Structure 1
Amino acid sequence: MEKFGKSQPVKRVEDVRFLTGRGQYVDDIAPQNALHALVLRASQAHGTITELDVAEAREMPGVQLVLTAEDLRAAEITSGMVATVVDNRDGTKGAAPRRPLLAEGKVRFVGEPVAMVIAESMAEARDAAEAIVLDIDDLPAKLDLARGGAALHDEAPDNRAFDWGTGDEEGCDDLLRNAAHVVRMEVEDNRVIVNSMEPRGCFAEWDGTRLHLSVNGQGVWGPKGQLAKILGLDEENVRVTNPDVGGGFGMKAMTYPEYFLCAHAAMKLGRPVRWMSERTEAMLSDNAGRDLVHEVALGFDENLKLLAYRVDTKCNLGAYNSQFGQPIQTQLFSRVLTGVYDIQKTYLHVEGYYTNTTQVDAYRGAGRPEAIYVLERAMDMAARELDISPWELRRRCFIQPAQFPYDTLTGETYDVGDFPRVLDHAARTADVDGFAARRAASEAEGRLRGMGLCYYIESILGDPSEGAKVEFNEDGTVLIYVGTQSNGQGHETVYAKFLSDQTGIPFEAITVIQGDSDRIEKGGGTGGSRSVTVQNNATLATVDAMIAAFTPYLAEKMGVEESEVSFDDETFRAPGSNLTPTMMEAAQMARADGRDDLLMHQARATLEARSFPNGAHIAEVEVDPDTGVVTLDRYSVVDDFGNLINPMLAEGQVHGGVAQGVGQALTESVVYDADGQLLTATFMDYAMPRADDLPMITFETEPVPSTANIMGMKGCGEAGTVGAMAATANAVMDALWTRGVRRADMPFTPHRVWNMLNDAVETAA
């Protein structure tokens, strides 16, 4: 491990500026003379626009521009938002209705942009927006996940966007028909709002030739290409930057209409234009997460080994295809469909539906938490129906260590794993042996206690290629340019420390440069837990390039053959030479000799395969049957992340992920009324998890180093969320089972749990 990171719990250096108010977020750095943009949004979920009169608004004090769909057409901005579609089971493409930047003729969800006002101040923009006359004739709102209802798009007259499948349907169904035991259940995965600490925002500048968009996103190269396409610019005339970003979680990985509108306004007016979302505006317009319903069937043989697994899913896409909406619950879901289990046949069938709600796209885990949630809920239910310990059932069905590398039925190759060892470690950490006594103590006080287990695995996603560039400055500092984008994960610390470990360059001398399409030629951005693994792999390639470049130069200085020069991660050495320069000293020597070619080094590298972090989450809850209040009392995690670069940061990532998964399970849920109005559009109604909703989280690791990369690493950014939902839900189900509850879906709010308990009493009677 010494070679590829010393696994030291280094504190995050960037936190000092964040905690002292010196962060440079997009709303902090917008030009002082920037105009303010405000979006007029639809207040109806579905309807025909019968009047949109902006004449009075355009004459209001301070107003510089009002944009409508008609204005965009006049400016020849007619391309819709970018969206990926999947192939249907019959070989046709999924529906691809055009998503306009501003509503054209119809509105399809509450919060859809209808017009943008650009004024000298936000107060003036608000006044002008209130002067806009907008009349909409209501159409019926489509909210259910089924064919039929008022059609949102001509391209999908029955509102079904796609019909996708993967696996051996006939073989899977045959095994299910003949299995010794079959367990079936329906599982819901509730919609959530991401609610990053910093809402979305941007500002745009135009100098007459080049466009600059600064946006709090998760990468700059995707937006750069889309801006060029939609606004009719050459890519070399577009610059995109990401400043400090206060949380992304997948929601900020894609573009939104406001970015293109601000850019067009800046180009038209010749002045900077800024826009910042407010919280309710974010809840109405940010891409939401999850929102699926699954029907599941598990088939077991007489020894309770898994034979077959079938999932039929209906997923909510919202009113339009978001950038990755269709692939999330199909292709990405399927990556870990079979989890950690050795299964003979599987089949996944997914239908996507358009509804009059906000779009649904990636949220921390992007398909993998959804897949693991349904599988681990089903495994827990199977254990109950088959009268076996959920721990023992999983052990019987695990892929065993001797089976690796293991080719899954959905085309993945798990490189390594020792799931029984990790689970044994988790049982010790969670004190499973003491659970009976804790349950008895809870019952003595009139409360129900449950323990829930989830064994997850996730697949690292995103571009396996990345680049890195290292530049030596005259003042003795060093810059490392990276292609990923921190949203608060601590990249500046991780990347600088890793480069320091490989080169001996002092950690404090290194500055990480990220998020600037002018300064960094290419990059894959952040998402899919890819960042540290792919970026550090690129750093290793760059270090190799540095050593190769310095070696002939230093060999001449040392008076030895090139083959005799070696580098030991701190100094260059050669037998017979007293010259032992560090990397920094070698750069100083090169500068003095006018060898500027040795002061900048770069390389790209591609991972040959993905890694698969995995682990066990164990939750314990107490339920008050009189009130339905669920208290998460204990939480333990044992992860296999392979070799860790910085255990402290890994633990922080797990804690944050667990909080988001537990939040969805216990408190968070999006509620629309029958007319498509969002009823949970403020923090008065949408319950984010708070500090007293979470216990201290025990985090331990049982590393099985990956063979998919030279560092032995496995990504950890999304793992906490992937395991948390099912562990918490299974714990609640365990607590309620003794009272006759046989189905329990998230979120486990007091009212819902109280109803579950009372419904079970009525059913028993």
Structure 2
Amino acid sequence: MEKFGKSQPVKRVEDVRFLTGHGQYVDDIAPEGALYGFVLRSSVAHGTITELDVSDAREAPGVHLVLTAADLAEAGVTEGMVATVVDNRDGTKGAAPRRPLLAEGKVRFVGEPVAMIFADSLAEARDAAEMIVLDIDDLPAKLDLTAGGTALHDAAPDNRAFDWGLGDEGACQSALEGAAHVVRMEVKDNRVIVNSMEPRGCFAEWDGTRLHLSVNGQGVWGPKGQLAKILKLDEANVRVTNPDVGGGFGMKAMTYPEYFLCAHAAMKLGRPVRWMSERTEAMLSDNAGRDLVHEVALGFDENLKLVAYRVDTKCNLGAYNSQFGQPIQTQLFSRVLTGVYDVQDAYLHVEGYYTNTTQVDAYRGAGRPEAIYLLERAMDMAARELGIDGWDLRRRSFIKADQFPYATTVGETYDVGDFHRVLDHAARTADLGGFAARCKASEARGKLRGMGLCYYIESILGDPSEGAKVEFNEDGTVFIYVGTQSNGQGHETVYAKFLSDQTGIPFEKITVIQGDSDRIEKGGGTGGSRSVTVQNNATLATVDKMIAAFTPYLADKMGVKEADVSFDDETFRAPGSNLTPTMLEAAEMARADGRDDLLVHQARATLEARSFPNGAHVAEVEIDPDTGVVTLDRYSVVDDFGNLINPMLAEGQVHGGVAQGVGQALTESVVYDADGQLLTATFMDYAMPRADDLPMIAFETEPVPSTANIMGMKGCGEAGTVGAMAATANAVFDALWTRGVRRADMPFTPHRVWKMLNDAMETAA
């Protein structure tokens, strides 16, 4: 690891400004005098707009602009929101109904934007919104995942958005029919709200020629292209920036109507405007996560090895296609369909449905947590029904170390892995041997104890290409320009440290520049756990160009042949010369000689293959059967992240991911009433996990360096969530199984657990 990163637990340099209130978030840096935006949202889940009168609002004190769908159309802003669709099993395309920036004639979910007001103050914009007359004739709310009901869109008269499949259905069915044992079950994956610490927000300014949108997103180039298209601008006249971002988790990777409305308003008014979501507003309008129901069948041979796997999924898209809503639970889900198991007869069938709820899109893991949750819940149930230890059942079907590279049934190629070794390490870390004694101790206190295992694998997604630029400044500092976007991961630390390791440039002299489409030519943003792997790969390519550029220049200075000059990650050297300049010294020499061409270096690089982080999560819970309260008592993780650049940052990512997975399993769930009203629209009602809901998390690694990149790295940003959901759920189910519970779905709130236990008692009686 010495060549590609010293694997040192360097503290995050950006945390100093964050913790001392010096972060530069979008709401901190809005231009002086910017008008405030406020969105009037639908209070009805489904209905026809019969009246929308904004005349009084336009005359209200402080109001400069009120936008409706009619105003946008009059201004020529007629494009709908961007969304990707998948192919149906019959070869047709998935439904692509128009998603307007502001509701056009109908509303389809509570929280849908109907009008946007811009005023001198937020209070004045709010007051003006109260003056708008909005009448809506209710239509029946569609909430279930079945075909039929009142249609949301003409493009999907039965409310089915797509019917997608992957694999050989006939071969899978034959394998199931020929299996010695078949286990079937239904698994629900509850909807969650992302709730990033910083809600969504933006500001926009227009100088008469160029538009600047600053948004707390996960990349600038996607929004840049969409702004140009929707507002009919040349891309050269659009600048997008991402300042400090307080959490994204996939939810901020895509655009939302407010960004385009603010940009249009700035252009129309010729002055800057700003908008910041409030918490309930965010819970109503941010893309949600998960929300699926699966029917699964697993076939095992006489030796209890998995030989067939079929999944039939129904997923909730919400009222519209979000930007990646259709691919999440189809293409992305399928990447890890069969997990770490050696099974080739597999089939995935997914149907997507529109409902009168907020859109569903990427949330930490984007399809892969959903796939692993289902598979590992099913393997756990299979072990119980087959009467075998769950750890042993998994080992029987593991892809073996000598089978790599391994081609999965869905077309992925796992480059390396040693799942047996990682699982053995996990057994030691979790003290598997001491579990029986801990169970007895819990029983003595009248409590139920359960242990849950999840062995996950994740496929790193996103653009495999990335660029990096290094610029030597006159004051002796260095800028590195990157195409990814930090939203809390610690990129400023890890990128600067990596460049320092490769060049000898002092860490404290390096500044990371990100999130500005004017300063950085191209980039893939952040998502799919791609950032550190692809960005550092690009940095290596840039360092190679730097060395190649400086070598002939320094050879002349040293009076030696170019071939004799070498660089040892800190200094340039050559036999016969006592001149040993560092990279910074070489840049200073070049500047003095007027060689400006040696002061800026850039390169792009593409990873030829993805990496596949994997690992084992082990959770232990204790349940009070009298109250249903679930206490997560122990939690341990053993990950194979390959070579680590900064173990401390990796551990922090795992801790955060585990918290989100545990939160979904134990406390978080979105609830709508029969009319489509969101009942969990505040933190009083939506139960985010607190610090005392989590134990200390043991984190260890068992690295098997990836061969998919020269650094041997595997992404780690989403892995914690991918493993946490099933590990926690399986632990709860393990405890409940002893009391006769045979079906248990998240979230395991006290009332739900208490009811499961009491229902099982009544059934037994």
The TM-score range, normalised by the shorter chain, is over 0.9
- The 5 A counterparts of 1:80-95 are 80-95=80-95
The corresponding residue for 1:353 is 353
Determine if contact 2:407/2:414 at 8 Å carries over to the other structure.
yes
Q: What does residue range 23-62 of structure 1 map to in structure 2 within 5 Å?
A: 23-62=23-62
Aligned length: 765
The whole-number CA distance in structure 1 between the counterparts of 2:564 and 2:60 is 76
| Equivalent residue, structure 2, for 1:409 | 409
Letter of the 2:269 counterpart: L
Contact (CA 8 Å) 2:621, 2:631: kept in 1 or not?
yes
1:603 aligns with 2:603: yes
Q: Which residue of the partner structure matches residue 211 of structure 1?
A: 211
Residues in 2 aligned to 1:581 and 1:449: alpha-carbon distance in whole angstroms: 63
Counterpart for residue 760 of structure 2: 760
Q: Deviations over 1:389-417 (max 9, x none)?
A: 00000000000000000000000000000
Q: CA RMSD in A?
A: 0.3
Corresponding position: 1:119 with 2:124 = no
> SS at 2:620's partner residue?
strand
**CA deviations over 1:329-358 (Å, ceiling 9, x no partner):** 000000000000000300000000000000
Partner of 2:690: 690
Which residue of the partner structure matches residue 514 of structure 1?
A: 514
Q: Does 1:574 align with 2:570?
A: no
Q: Equivalent residue of 1:29, what SS?
A: coil
Once residues 174 and 505 of structure 2 are traced to their aligned partners in structure 1, the CA distance between those partners, rounded to angstroms, is 61
Partner of 1:27: helix, strand, or coil?
coil
Q: CA deviation at 1:699?
A: 0.1
Displacement of 1:713: 0.1
Residue 100 in 1 paired to residue 96 in 2? no
Residue number in structure 1 paired with 2:478: 478
Amino acid at match of 2:741: V
How far has the Cα of 1:729 moved from its partner? 0.2
Match in the other structure for 1:497: 497
Please list, as runs of the form range in 1=range in 2, the aligned pairs for 1:614-763 lying within 5 A after superposition: 614-763=614-763
Q: Quick check: 2:321–2:359 contact (8 Å CA) kept in 1?
A: yes
Q: How far did 1:266 drift?
A: 0.2
Name whichever of 172-181 and 648-657 sits farther off.
Answer: 172-181
Deviation sequence 1:253-310 (CA, Å, 0-9, x none): 0000000000000000000000000000000000000000000000000000111000
What percentage of aligned pairs have identical amino acids?
Answer: 90
Tell me, in whole angstroms, the C-alpha distance in 2 between the residues paired with 1:439 and 1:168. Answer: 44
What amino acid is aligned across from residue 641 of structure 2 in structure 1? F
Partner residue in 2 for 1:141 = 141
Counterpart of 1:431 in structure 2 is 431
Q: Deviations over 1:365-385 (max 9, x none)?
A: 000000000000000000000
Pair 1:592-2:589 in alignment: no
C-alpha separation between the residues in 2 aligned to 1:325 and 1:265?
28
* Contiguous gaps of at least 5 residues in structure 1: none
Partner Cα separation in structure 2 for residue 279 and residue 482 of structure 1: 31
State the AA in 1 paired with 2:506: P
- In the TM superposition, residue 721 of structure 1 has moved relative to its aligned partner by 0.1
CA distance in 2, matches of 1:391, 1:90: 40
1:484 shift after superposition: 0.2
| 1:672-698 deviations in Å (ceiling 9; x for gaps) | 000000000000000000000000000
Q: Which residue of 1 aligns with 2:263?
A: 263
* Deviation of 1:763 (Å): 1.0
Q: Distance in 2 between matches of 1:344 and 1:74?
A: 56
Distance 1:157 1:752 in 2: 36
Q: Per the alignment, in what secondary structure is the counterpart of residue 136 of structure 2?
A: strand
SS at match of 2:538: helix
Q: Which runs of 5+ in 2 are unaligned?
A: none
2:177 aligns to what?
Answer: 177
Give the partner amino acid of 1:546: M
Secondary structure, counterpart of 1:547 in structure 2 = helix
Letter of the 1:397 partner, please give it. Answer: S
Distance 1:648 1:280 in 2: 34
What pairs up with 1:50-449 in 2 under 5 angstroms? Answer: 50-449=50-449
Paired with 2:191 and 2:660, the residues of 1 have a C-alpha distance of 13
Q: Distance in 2 between matches of 1:717 and 1:644?
A: 12
1:207-226 deviation digits (Å, cap 9, x = unpaired): 00000000000000000000
Distance in 2, matches of 1:388 and 1:367, equals: 29
User: Matches of 1:209 and 1:151 in 2, distance apart?
Assistant: 43
Output the CA distance in 1 between the equivalents of 2:125 and 2:438.
59
8 A contact 2:196–2:249 mirrored in 1: yes
Q: Which amino acid aligns with 1:509?
A: K
Distance 2:31 2:523 in 1: 26
What is the CA–CA distance in structure 2 between the aligned matches of 1:567 and 1:470, rounded to whole Å? 17
**Match of 1:453, SS?**
strand
2:160 partner letter:
R
Counterpart residue identity of residue 554, structure 2: L
Deviation at 1:55, TM superposition (A): 0.2
Between the aligned partners of 1:89 and 1:736, the Cα distance in structure 2 is 39
Tell me, in whole angstroms, the C-alpha distance in 1 between the residues paired with 2:320 and 2:78.
17
What TM-score does the superposition give when structure 1 sets the normalisation length? 1.00
- Deviation readout 1:155-187 (Å, 9 max, x if unpaired): 000000000000010010111111100000000
CA contact (8 A) 2:344 2:408 kept: no
Superposed CA offset, 1:69-109 (max 9, x none): 00000001010000000000000000000000000000000
Between the aligned partners of 1:45 and 1:28, the Cα distance in structure 2 is: 34
Contact 2:341 2:398 in 1 (8 A): yes
CA distance in 2, matches of 1:382, 1:583: 59
Residues 530-578 of structure 1, C-alpha deviation per residue, up to 9 Å, x if partnerless? 0000000000000000000000000000011110000000000000001
| Residues 437-473 of structure 1 deviation map (CA, whole Å, 9 limit, x = unaligned) | 0001001110000000000000000000000000000
CA distance in 2, matches of 1:439, 1:73: 66
Partners of 1:730 and 1:169 lie apart in 2 by 29
For residue 29 of structure 2, what is the amino acid of its counterpart?
A: I
Normalised to the residue count of structure 2, the TM-score between the two structures is: 1.00
Q: Is residue 504–residue 571 contact of structure 2 (8 Å, CA) maintained in 1?
A: yes
SS at match of 2:27: helix
Secondary structure of 1:579 counterpart: coil
Instruction: Report the residue type matching 1:555 in the other structure.
Output: A
Separation (CA, whole Å) in 2 of partners of 1:486 and 1:136: 41
Provide the residue aligned with 1:539 in structure 2.
539
Q: CA deviation at 1:764?
A: 1.0
| C-alpha distance in 1 between matches for 2:391 and 2:552 | 59
Amino acid at match of 2:336: V
Cα distance in 1 for partners of 2:270, 2:738 equals 68
Partner Cα distance (1:626, 1:528) in 2: 42
Q: Are the aligned partners of 2:6 and 2:501 in contact in 1 as well (CA < 8 Å)?
A: yes
User: Which one-letter code corresponds to 2:170 in the other structure?
Assistant: E
Distance in structure 1 (CA, Å) of the matches to 2:389 and 2:429:
18
Q: Tell me how far apart the structure 2 counterparts of residues 604 and 691 of structure 1 sit (CA, whole Å).
A: 42
Partner amino acid, structure 2, of 1:613 = P
Displacement after TM superposition at 1:762 (Å): 1.1
Secondary structure of 1:28's aligned partner: coil
What is the DSSP-based 3-state SS (H/G/I as helix, E as strand, rest coil) of the residue aligned with 1:333? Answer: helix
Q: Distance in 2 between matches of 1:135 and 1:320?
A: 22
Cα distance in 1, alignment partners of residues 32 and 438 from structure 2 = 60
- Aligned equivalents of 2:412, 2:343: Cα separation in 1: 14
CA distance in 2, matches of 1:757, 1:452: 18
